[in-house]
Chain A
Amino acid sequence: MGDETCVTAPEIVGVDRDAIAARVRPLGGPVDVLLDGRRLFSVRLEDHPAGRIPWPDALRPHLHGTATIALRRPDGPPGAAVDVDLGGSGRFAVTDASGRDLVVNKWGRLGRALGDSDPRVTERLLDHAEAVTAVLERELGLEPFVTGGTLLGAVRERRLLGHDDDVDLGYVSGHEDPVEVAREGFEVGRVLRRAGFDVLRHSAGHLQMHFEHEGVSDHYVDVFAGFVREGHWHQLFCIRHPARRADLLPRSSVTIAGRPMPAPADVELALEANYGPGWRVPDPAFRFETPRATRRRLDLWFPGMHVDREDWASRTDRREVSARARRLVDADPGLPALDLGCGAGADTAFLADHLGRAVGVDWNAPALESARAAVQGRDADIHSVNLRDLRAVVRLGAQLAAEDHGWVVLVGRVLDHLDEAGRENVLRLLGMVLRRGGHAQVDVTDDREDLERMAVRHGLVLGRNGGDLELRRAPVVVSAA
C-alpha cells in the first residue's frame, strides 16, 4: 500500500491567481501543469518546497476566466483535473494570434510545442533541417548534425520531443581559435541568407531560421557553432565537455519520425555533454545550468546580440506619428531622414512624405513587415539591422555615408533599450552618417553624461535645441600654431 502512495498522481489542493497548491510525494522531480489536458508548463518540485507552484510570469497577462487544471509526472498518468475560476470573464487560454496553443518554454517565454501541433509540422521541420544541412555541406563543407533537444528526442523516443519547439543543428568547425570560429559563423549566416533562409543571428555562433506555413509562423531551426579546443568540445551556448574531434566526426545517424538524420559520432557523449549524466531520465522542466567556466568562455567569445529583444519588440507597434518627428519636419532641414528604431514605420512614412526621402531601421521582424507596408509608394527604404551587431551597423553607416549629403536622424528610444556596446554602435553609426552635415535628435531618459562622453569618442557633440537633445558633428578645430 505504501508503494502505491508513492506512485499516486500529484493532486491539486487549491488554485489562485498566484499559485497552484499541490499535494505530491516525493516533493521533488519534474511535474507538468496541464491546462484542459495539455501541458502548459513544467516545474521542478524541489524549487517549490512548500508545494506551491507559482504561475510563470509569462502567463500572468492570460490568467483570467475559468480553467481545468491538472498535474502530472512526465512518465505517469495525470492527477484529478480541477475546475477553477481565476476571476474575470471567459476561459483561461494561452494561444498565439492564429489561435494556436502556446506553452511556457524552457526559457520561461511563451512558445509553441510540437506536442500540441499538427504532426505535419514535424515533417516540415525535418524537411527544413535537411535543407539547411545540405546548404552547409555543399557551400562550406561542414558536417552538421542534430544536437540538443533534437538529438535527445531521437535517442530517447525516436521522434522530436513533445515539449520542444524546434530542430537544433550543430557543426564542428575545423578551426580551434574562437576568432576563426566566429568568422566562419558570420560566413555561415551569409551562405544561409543567400540560400533564401530567413536568418536571425543571435551571436557569431548561433543562428536561427524561421519558417512560415500558410502565412503564419510555423517553426524554426537553430544552427550552433562548435569546435574542439583545449581537449574540450565547445558548442554554443552551453557545452564544454572533454572530447576529441574523433568523438564527434565522422557523423553517425539517428532516426527521427522514421527518417535518418545525421548525428555526432558518439551520441551518448554528446548527450552527456549537453544534459549531464542523467540525460536518459525524461525531464520537461530541465533548465540549462551552464557551468561558470563554460559560460565565461562562450558568452565572451560569442556575445549575444539580442539583449532585451523582447522588451523592444513590445514597443515597436506604434502607428501614430510622434511629436518628435513632427518637430523634425517643422525645422525643415532640407535633408533626408534616418529613423533608427522605426518600429511599424509611422514616423518613417511621415518623414518620407515631408522630407522627400527616409530610411527606417529596426530588427523586429513583424515591425519591419508593417514598416515596409507603411512606406509603400514613398521614396523610403526599410533595413533590418541589429544595432548590437557592429558589422551590420558599420555596413549601414558605410552605405548611408557614401551618399553625397548629410542626414537628419531620429533616434527615438533606441538608446535606452541598448546596452553599452549597442549604444557605442549607434554613436559610431551617427559619427559616420553625420560627416556631411545634419544632426541626430536623441531621446534618452538617463545616462546623459555617459552619452556626452561617448559622443566625443565618435567626433560628435551633444547639444540642446529647445526641448530636444541633438548630436552633431564636432567642428574641426584648426590650430593657429
Chain B
Amino acid sequence: MRNPVRVVGAAARRVLVPEWTAILRDVAELRSDRDNLLTDVGVLRSELADARRRYDVEAAETAVLRARVEALEADIDENRRLSARVAEVTDLVTEVVLPLHDREIDATRLRPRGTEPE
C-alpha cells in the first residue's frame, strides 16, 4: 500500500506546481549537460596545456632556427667579403707582383729549393 503522505504530497504538487515533473526532468538534463561540459572543459584544458607545450617547443625551435639563419647569413657575408678580397689579391699579383718580377727578380731564385725544372 502506498504511503498516504506521499500520495497526498504528490497530489498537492500536481495541483500547486503542475510543471514539477518537467522541472525534475530538466534538472536531470541540465545536470547531465553540466557534467558533459565539465568533461569538455577538462579536455580543452588538457588540449590547451598540450598546445602551450607545443608552442614553447616551437618557440624554442624558432629561436634556434633564427640563430642558425643569422649564423648562416654571417657565413655567407664572410664568403662574399672573401670574394672581394680574392679579387683584390689576384689583381695585386697580376698588376703589381708580376711586373716587379719582370723588373727586379731573378726567376731562378723563385724555384722551390731542391727541385729542378723538368
Contact = CB atoms under 8 A, between A and B. Distances in A.
Nearest to A187: B91
Interface string B23-59: 0000000000000000000000000000000000000
Contact of B88 (A296, A390, A398): A390
Contacts of A177: 83
Interface residue tally of chain B, by bracket? 10 to 19
A253 B104 CA distance: 49
B91 A183 contact: yes
Contact of A301 (B84, B91, B100): B84
B96 A395 contact: yes
Nearest to A398: B96
A54 to B, nearest CB: 34
Contacts of A190: 95
Given A391-B96, A394-B96, A398-B96, A301 B88 contact: no
B86 A179 contact: yes
Question: What's the dominant secondary structure at chain B's contact region?
Answer: helix
Interface string A369-397: 00000000000000000000011001100
Given A391-B96, A394-B96, A183 B87 contact: yes
A125 interface: no
B62 interface: no
Nearest to B78: A300
Given A391-B95, A391-B96, A394-B96, A183 B81 contact: no
28 contacts: A178-B80, A178-B84, A179-B83, A179-B87, A179-B90, A182-B83, A183-B87, A186-B91, A204-B84, A204-B88, A296-B73, A296-B77, A296-B80, A297-B80, A300-B77, A300-B81, A300-B84, A301-B84, A303-B81, A390-B85, A390-B88, A391-B92, A391-B96, A395-B92, A395-B96, A398-B96, A398-B100, A402-B104
Given A178-B87, A394-B92, A402-B104, 16 more contacts: A179-B87, A186-B87, A190-B95, A204-B87, A296-B76, A300-B81, A302-B84, A303-B81, A303-B84, A390-B92, A391-B88, A391-B95, A394-B96, A395-B92, A395-B96, A398-B100
Interface of A: 177-180, 182-183, 186, 190, 204, 296-297, 300-303, 390-391, 394-395, 398, 402
